[in-house]
Amino acid sequence: MQQHLERRGLRTTQPRLRLLQFFAQTEGHFTPEDIAERFRLAGEPIPIATLYQNLRVFSEHGLIGEVVGHGGELRYDTNLTPHSHLRCNRCGKLIDIVLNLSDLRPHDQGHDWQITGARVELQGLCPVCQVATATKPTPTL
Ligand SMILES: [Zn+2]
Ligand SMILES: [Zn+2]
């Protein structure tokens, strides 16, 4: 963990080490508030300003990813392998998916480009929301 930071010329501090550990052990997409809450519940609170600052530094150094959440909020992504996202339009659930680059070839403009990466966000209804919308009681007279 410590080497992770030192290799990037980052000072090793307790909050940084704890944050790195959190990201290594946790999967998902978190707002700074989510992360603050987790640490608070674990009995090891990190001041929110420190947290914001460290998250920004980690992101700049490629130690964590960024993704924009359902309400336009910035979330930090613990999954650093290239991936795309699938988002539920109803509850905002966000999951990681892997798309095949050859499926994403532009048909028209850009077809002659060499595609080296993609950041795609697909939208839809998650299984829970499909059930919820299907069983919504229909008004009766
Ligand atoms: Zn949903
Ligand atoms: Zn992700």
CATH code linked to domain 84-134:
3.30.1490.190
- The residues of the chain that CATH labels 3.30.1490.190 are 84-134
Distance from the alpha carbon of residue 138 to the mean position of ligand 2, in angstroms: 36
Q: Scanning the structure block, which residue is given the tokens 């403009």?
A: 109
User: CA–CA distance from 111 to each of 84, 89, 105, 121 (Å)?
Assistant: 21, 30, 7, 20
Spatial contact of 76 and 59, defined as CB atoms under 8 Å apart: yes
Q: How far is the CA of 44 from the centre of ligand 2 (A)?
A: 26
Q: What is the pLDDT of residues 38-83, one digit of tens each?
A: 999 999 999 999 999 999 999 999 899 999 877 888 999 998 888 8
- CATH 1.10.10.10 positions along the chain are 2-77
Q: What is the pTM of this model?
A: 0.77
Cα 101 to chain centroid, rounded: 20
The rounded Å distance from CA 79 to ligand 2 centre is 6
Ligand nearest to the CA of 131: 1
Give the sheet arrangement for strand 121-124, strand by strand.
94-97, 84-88, 121-124
Work out the average pLDDT over 75-97.
Answer: 91
**Residue 16 C-alpha to ligand 2 middle, in angstroms?**
21
CATH number for the domain whose boundaries are 2-77: 1.10.10.10
